[in-house]
Chain A
Amino acid sequence: MKRFLAFAAAAAVTVTSTAMADGFHHHRTSDFGVEVERLARIQSLEFFGVFAPLGESSTLSLSAAAADANPAALISVAPGLRVKIVSAAAALTPNIDQLVLWPNASQPTHIIACNEQGSGQIGVQRIDLKTGVPETIISSGLTSCDPGRVTAWGTLVVGEENGTNGRLFEILDPLHTSNVTVPAAGFGASSDPAHVVGRPALGQFAFEGLGILPNGVVYLTDENRPGGGGLGNPGGAFVKFIPTTLWTGGTITSLAQSPWASGSLYGMRLGRNGGNTDVGQGNQIGRGVWVEITGTAPINLRAAASTLKLTSFYRPEDMTVDPEVLAAGNVRVCGTNTGQDIPDSTPNGDNNWGEVYCVTDGTVAAASDVSVTSGINTASIPEFHPLVLGNPDFGMPDNIDIQPGTGNFLLNEDGEGALYPTPRNNDIWDCLDDGDDTDTLSDGCIKVMTLNDLTAESTGGIFDASGRHYYVSIQHNITGHGVILDVTGWR
């Protein structure tokens, strides 16, 4: 009996321990990740400046008649936000991508917009913020005009997302430059060379991301998908241009004075272990080196990226300079790798929802140095880390801007929601930066806008300096003409 009791006691202890362990394993009453998302929603006013986030993406697709009757209805916004129409003029080009506030983001009078169509169509327009009337700056010659920026020396730069034929152009005095034609290829003179010139020194690839420092150093990305030209070929590279003469302040009066007339190019290659040899597939994160890109301008940067084994990404898109980090004398640029959000209900579904990343490059001084040893610019060390990883509800991030005042990232989704079994619209997301927690990822994102046009995407979203006006284009929308909206009401 005693033996039986001892065995029973042992069994009871075992069962009790098992039950306790089982409870530890299975009896959670909440999902911590869901709890974090819930916290982001209920604290949306404090962290995102809206009363509440949006839930589901819109599944509505307005007709042209409905959208023309009220272009603001092309987008639904989070509670607290308001939508005003900047322009929905019939003459506003239909495929407007990136937007530039001119002459600056503090007191803009115009938006200057890149139109992403063929070389026979209008490439660049200016839109009067008071009247919404568009006027043409470059009337033809540009193919798929996509990026646009103001430079510190007072020019406008626009670029072509056009494979290895992509070019960058500088425009002087864009409010008084009209109907200029540029060659459909190459760097021949424009019809107004005093006001519009190509910049061969910055090379050629599919320009999309431009991160320009005040001294003229610029970070560039190639919107290229992997596998182009052959299985296993690289995607888009990340390149830096350093002017021969750094810009030190003021504005130019002639395009010949631009710091982009000449300079040197470097490509980012991640991996420093083993004397910078741990590079290639499998290493797409962390620190790396700047590899010197040599050749006669204009250099085919895509070919150079392949030859020099630069790190590549899945269709790098827009990019922005972090102004807070820049003010402290350092470099941090953040951009998007859009990926391939084709639903897995289709044969070629990838479920690669893209990412938002940031690259640091040390101090501005180091990032602008050209100390080259054995083909490596040793002055600064690029370091790449993801900030936001995409998901089925937030796929293919494209345009990016940082909201002044909050430091939040606003991201235009260019996903394939229209192909989902239940088609959904593209959204605009608002993401926190990384905080003081241990990881290097965004602390949370919420959906703040959703389109009501399954044929469209939002592009070029950009804040003014106050952070209270968010201008955004509704590209290739159902009306057949451009629509630019101003979203206000940010708290």
Chain B
Amino acid sequence: MNRNALRLSLACVATFAGVIFLFKDDGAGIGTQVPVPVQPGAGASAPPLASITMVRTDPPPLLATPPRADAAAEASNDQMNSSLMSPYSSDADARAAAIGDLDDATATPQSLSVLEQTVRFDEVSRNRILAVDLLRRLAQHGDESGRTAALLHLALADADPNVVTNARDALRAVEH
């Protein structure tokens, strides 16, 4: 073997070693790209991510004392605590179902308390929309105390435009 042939062999070995080094950590195979962590909803056609905690104005309280948890709310909490056995997909769905179970013809202090808690504090806007809609139906059956209308006015301050639109249309329906 002459000296040039030896040098060429060494070059080939070096090249081969370089290629091996390049791919030595690529266990998934050639061409596999390093995955970038992406949260659900962050895809090209998915909704953008934002904090689920709402930034909302805090209107003055409607009740002299903070709303106490009534039977319906407690039932809802029970459902939350036993979510493993719950028929609902999520705690939010259980809260929505609890709203749906309220009588839509007669407002009671308990149901108004649930609705006020929902309008004020439920982080899922769908649930606040459901509460606003139930308030509309209750108000249309009569609102002597003015509390359902007051809660609808409260919803006008919501951070979600869908809730505001629903509250505004509800007030129009009630006031006409």
Binding site for B on A (CB under 8 A): 2, 6, 9-11, 13-15, 17-18, 21-22, 24-26, 34, 55-57, 59-66, 227-228, 340, 342-346, 348-349, 351, 391-393, 416-424, 447, 454-455, 478, 480
Contact = CB atoms under 8 A, between A and B. Distances in A.
Given A63-B170, A64-B136, A421-B52, A6 B10 contact: yes
12 contacts: A14-B15, A18-B22, A21-B19, A25-B33, A61-B126, A65-B173, A342-B89, A349-B40, A393-B46, A416-B89, A422-B47, A423-B47
Interface string B18-56: 110011000000110100000111111111111110000
Nearest to B136: A64
A177 B24 CA distance: 74
B87 to A, nearest CB: 9
A422 B40 contact: no
A345 B52 contact: yes
Contact of B45 (A10, A18, A55): A55
A454 to B, nearest CB: 4
Contacts of A26: 33
Contact of B49 (A34, A340, A422): A422
In this complex, the member of A2, A348, A424 whose beta carbon has the largest number of chain B beta carbons within 10 angstroms is A348
Interface majority SS (helix, strand, loop, mixed), chain B: helix
Interface residues of B, number: 56
B130 interface: yes
Given A24-B31, A423-B162, A455-B129, 6 more contacts: A13-B11, A14-B15, A24-B30, A349-B40, A392-B46, A447-B45
A346 B39 contact: no
Contacts of B165: 61-63, 66
Nearest to B83: A348
Contacts of A22: 22
Contact of A480 (B18, B129, B137): B137
B26 to A, nearest CB: 8
B126 A423 contact: yes
A61 B49 CA distance: 19
B133 interface: yes
A455 B92 CA distance: 12
A56 B43 CA distance: 10
A418 B125 CA distance: 8
B124 to A, nearest CB: 6
A348 B91 contact: yes
A9 B47 contact: no
Nearest to A66: B169
B49 A11 contact: no
Interface of B: 3, 7, 10-12, 14-15, 17-19, 22-23, 30-31, 33, 39-52, 83-85, 89-93, 96, 104, 124-126, 129-130, 133, 136-137, 160, 162, 165-166, 168-170, 172-173
B29 to A, nearest CB: 11
Nearest to A231: B84
Contacts of B83: 348
B90 A21 contact: no
A10 B40 contact: no
Contact of B22 (A21, A64, A423): A21
A66 B19 CA distance: 65
B18 A18 contact: yes
A57 B23 CA distance: 41
B19 A17 contact: yes
Nearest to A229: B85
Contacts of A59: 47, 162
Given A6-B11, A64-B136, A346-B52, A420 B129 contact: no
Contacts of A478: 129, 133, 166
A17 B47 contact: no
A56 B45 CA distance: 5
A217 B92 CA distance: 40
Contacts of B162: 59-61, 423, 454
A424 B47 contact: yes
A351 B41 CA distance: 11
A14 B7 contact: no
B23 to A, nearest CB: 7
B18 A17 contact: yes
A422 B48 contact: yes
B90 A10 contact: no
B169 A419 contact: no
